[in-house]
Chains A and B, each alone.
Chain A
Amino acid sequence: MAGAISEEEVRHISMLARLKPSDEEVHRFSEQLSAILAYMEQLNEVDTTDVPPTAHALPVHNVFRDDRPGSSLSPDQALANAPQRDDNFFAVPKVLEQDSV
């Protein structure tokens, strides 16, 4: 399929998302994602020569709220759907010791 998502790309995206699809899944996702892209390709048929680029679909800007505290959830509410908790923390499998931001 032309302009397709290769199996290699599927593996790369999976790595970034910390997913480990099987070979069969990689093959299937490659085909499915390629089909989605091909469908979206139709948009390129529209002539946009004179249309300025836009960052947003809505003709709206400057939507703000005041810096006024509202209510938060309790730790029990926040953790209600967590697969695992430890005290008032979410518990996740051990990760490398580093900060992300």
Chain B
Amino acid sequence: MQRSQFKYRPIIGLEIHVQLATRTKLFCSCPVVFGAEPNSCVCPVCLGMPGVLPVMNRQAYEFSVRTAIALNCQIAPFTKWDRKSYYYPDLPKNYQISQYDLPLGFDGAFDVPVDGGGESRRVRIRRAHLEEDAGKNLHETPGITQVDLNRTGTPLLEIVTEPDLASADEAYSFCVELQKLVTYLGVSEASMQKGQMRFEPNINVVIADGDREYRTPISEVKNLNSFRSVRNAIAYEIERQINDWLADRDYVIDKRSKENRGWDDNRGVTEFQRGKEEAHDYRYFPDPDLVPVEIDDTWLERIRASVGELPRERQSRMARSYGLTESDAATILSDKATADLFEQAASAGHPPTLGKQFISFWSAKANERKVAIAALGIDAERLGQLSLMTADGIINATATATIAEKMLACTDPPRTIAETEGLLQVRDEGQMNAWVDQAFAANEQAVRDALANPKKMQQARGFLTGQVMKISGGQADPKIVGKMITEKLANMAG
């Protein structure tokens, strides 16, 4: 069967867990600490002891609503908490507190750039709800599973999209934008290394054979924890499903139930996991220990006011007001602290030149050190000053790069560095005249040729400018030198 005789259209939805940046857990005052001694951040509530009473963390609720607002969700005026029952050692209560039929946010939309940033795709948000994380099972010791319950009860915001994504790259872009959004909102640190964002894509493929359409069974890839693994796992799944269908026409959604698959990052493949338990097996019911939440207009407006400027709004504004391209603005905005630094530096500098310098050598220096530009330790004022000096033409491109390099190693202002290193362009007329005279004296033949043959004028002017730059050690301003040489030649001819 020829693969090329069919058309393939992937359908992808995402379920994303974002760990909220609260100081304490969702239902108890145990601190949320990454890398703490196992079972040192636990108490009777998160250990699931009998007779304890969970109390909701207000900050976690407000962070969730803030995010839901930024995702253009409807905010439920009334929400409640439900128990999702299942038995697993990392969840000692034998149920997870979650939201079942009344999520705090629903029917939202999030625009993400696709096709390299020129276009954007609107991805509908089905729901956003708050729930508690489970602990960690470790499987390294033979014969037993080790359980660390420090993470148990950590607040997670679960965001579920409609299946509106059409490729692995689009899903990747969505995840990147969402990370940007939650860090901008200040609701999550969203660190991949700390597992603070976890992704579960749902994937299937519509296969068109002329007028007939076939759909492969939906697979859900569990617990991906990097953007790269999201992209790779989805790309792999699309290929696998197409190949499985080509090999077996019964590999269609009507004949198979949804399956869970796990991503093996080392081998770059997904593997079949247990069949998904039917939703009713979780036996959801309202948690009698937690009272409902009602949000009134005053409270909602207060949270709405905390949303602030969103990354995409900021990108447009920065592009507009600083004379940057959208893609340069996007690069600067990929880290909030760097964008803040840029805006401070721009007020003390020349914004378009500063933009070029951020995109070129500052980001190169940051990449070398594997940090963001904001973490290079150069203050906004010095960054601004350097951009002004370049824009004013008092230092050339080579000198700018040299000064930038030196700025990393000291705290001197760029002008001081330029003076110390003799990198300022000289504009003093007397000095410039002396250099021009010197160049004319040393190259009499070229001067005579230029005067005798107007066709050689242009070439001679370039040559003499180069000679002056050489004599001045690169310090002469080439524009002024060029003008002086033209005038001098004209005088001699005249």
Contacts and interface: CB of A to CB of B under 8 A. Distances in A.
Interface of A: 16-18, 55-58, 60-75, 78-79, 84, 86-101
A90 B17 CA distance: 25
B67 to A, nearest CB: 16
Contact of B29 (A63, A65, A87, A94): A65
Interface secondary structure of B, over-half rule: loop
B186 interface: no
Interface in B37-55: 37-44, 47, 55
Q: Which 4 A-B pairs have the closest CB atoms?
A: A70-B29, A89-B146, A64-B58, A67-B59
Given A60-B291, A68-B23, 17 more contacts: A17-B87, A17-B94, A57-B288, A63-B290, A64-B57, A65-B56, A67-B58, A67-B59, A68-B29, A71-B43, A78-B40, A78-B47, A94-B139, A95-B139, A98-B222, A100-B86, A100-B134
Interface in B147-179: 147-149, 156
Interface of B: 17, 22-24, 28-31, 37-44, 47, 55-61, 80, 85-91, 94, 96, 102, 131, 133-134, 137-139, 141, 143-149, 156, 222-223, 262, 273-274, 277, 281, 283, 286, 288, 290-294
B24 A101 contact: no
A91 B24 contact: no
Contact of B39 (A57, A75, A94): A75
16 contacts: A62-B294, A64-B58, A66-B58, A66-B59, A68-B23, A86-B146, A88-B148, A90-B89, A90-B146, A93-B144, A94-B144, A95-B137, A98-B262, A98-B273, A99-B90, A99-B223
Contacts of A79: 39
Chain B CB within 10 Å, residue with most, of A78, A79, A87, A94: A78
Nearest to B273: A98
A73 B96 contact: no
B29 A64 contact: no
B310 to A, nearest CB: 24
Q: Which of A17, A55, A57, A61 has the most CB of B within 10 A?
A: A55
Contacts of B31: 69, 72
Given A72-B43, A74-B40, A89-B138, A65 B55 contact: yes
Nearest to B60: A67
Contacts of A97: 137, 139
Nearest to A59: B291
A77 B286 CA distance: 31
Contacts of A87: 38, 146
A97 to B, nearest CB: 5
Contact of B281 (A16, A18, A72): A16
B291 A61 contact: yes
A61 B292 contact: yes
Given A55-B286, A67-B57, A72 B30 contact: yes
Given A67-B60, A99-B223, A89 B39 contact: yes
Contacts of A68: 23-24, 29
Given A94-B139, A95-B88, A97-B139, A78 B39 contact: yes
A74 B102 CA distance: 37
B286 A18 contact: no
Nearest to B88: A100
B56 A63 contact: yes
Nearest to B283: A16
